[in-house]
Structure 1
Amino acid sequence: MRVLYFAWVRQKVGKAEEEVAPPAEVRDVAGLMAWLAAQSPGHAEAFANARTIRAAVNQEFARPDQALAAGDEVAFFPPVTGG
C-alpha cells in the first residue's frame, strides 16, 4: 500500500510518501491511521487528532470507514478551505 502525506501531515511524519504493509486487522482508513500513529513519534504527532485529517483512497475522497485493499494508494492531508 502506498501512503502519501501532504502539507503539515508530511512535515510531522517527515516524509512525502512510503510503502507500508499493515497487518490484516487494518481494514479501513481509520484503522490505517491508528496503525500509522504507532509507527513513529512523527506519525503519532500527525495522527494525534484524526478529525483534523482528510483522506483519499485511489484519488477519491474517503471516509474513515472506507475499506482498504492491498495495492491501494491512500493520501492524508489537512482540510482545505478557500476564500
Structure 2
Amino acid sequence: NRTRKGQNFNEIILCIYSQFMEKEVRQWQHIYKALQLLEYLVKHGSEHVVDDACSHISAIKMLCNFHYIDNKEKDQGIN
C-alpha cells in the first residue's frame, strides 16, 4: 500500500487535494473522482490518510454537499 510510505503518501495526498482546489465547477468529475479515491483510502489506506482527512474535514464536508447543474439542467452532485 503506497499510502504507508512517506514520499508516496505525500504525492498521493497532494494529487487528491489539488483536484479539489484547482478545478472549475464544470470539472465536477475530477472533484467527484478525487472524493471517491479519498474515501477508499480512508477505509483501506494507512492511518496517515485518516489523520490527514481529519485535518481537512471542513473542506471535505463542503465538497460532500457539492452540486453542479449542467447545461441539460441535470444536477451532477446527486448520486
TM-score, L = length of structure 1: 0.29
Which protein has the bigger helix share?
Answer: 2
Greater relative contact order, per chain length (Cα 8 Å cut-off, separation 6+): 1
Larger radius of gyration, structure 1 or 2? Answer: 2
TM-score, L = length of structure 2: 0.30
